Amino acid sequence: MSWRYVVKKCKAETHGEKCGPWTIVESMLDAGWKDMYRLAATLPHAIVSRTYVGTQNWSTSPYKAFEHIEGGGLCYFCGKGRGPLCKTGDGNHFLCEPCQKISRRDHKQWARDNGTTPSPFTYVPIIETLDHTH
């Protein structure tokens, strides 16, 4: 597989309804994706986009694979708190700590009730799971 990962940082002084302009900080192929996520996490507001650059007949449209906002993004569930980007059953979303804890607990309970193993990555900040993924 061939993927290009690009870290872009937002240069806006304040964040209202819009962000930008975005500037490219770094770009890397394939194996460097974890480094790209870590780099984005050091910036006040950054995204990592992923684009397929291989030879298969797949979409080559950029996809936002990761986003970091200093202090966290607005919680997808409660809309009040702020927190890091987490994997959820409905895609990647920002979750505040209380919503992460409740969702993680419910995820584990659902897995127990259904005789399966809960994912160690669901409702956990994505940046904390990098060393446990391939």
The pLDDT tens digits of the residues spanning 81-126 come to 999 999 998 999 999 999 999 999 999 999 999 999 999 999 999 9
In this structure, the answer to whether residues 106 and 62 fall within a common structural domain is no
Q: Show which of 39, 70, 101 is a domain's final residue.
A: 70
**C-beta neighbour count of 14 within 10 angstroms:** 5
**pTM: predicted TM-score of the whole model, two decimal places:** 0.88
Asked whether residue 84 falls in the same domain as residue 41, the answer is: no
Asked if 36 and 65 sit in the same domain, the reply is: yes
CB–CB of 3/36 below 8 Å?
A: no
Same domain? For 65 and 78 the reply is: no
* Domain end residue (candidates: 70, 85, 115): 70
Is there a single domain that holds both residue 31 and residue 76? no
Please state, for a pLDDT cut of 90, what percent of the chain lies above it.
83
The boundaries of the domain holding residue 96 are: 72-134
Residues 52, 2: contact at Cβ < 8 Å? yes
Q: Are residues 44 and 78 in the same domain?
A: no
For residue 118, cis peptide bond before it (omega within 30 degrees of 0):
no
Same domain, 38 and 76: no
Whole-angstrom distance, CA of residue 116 vs CA of residue 123: 17
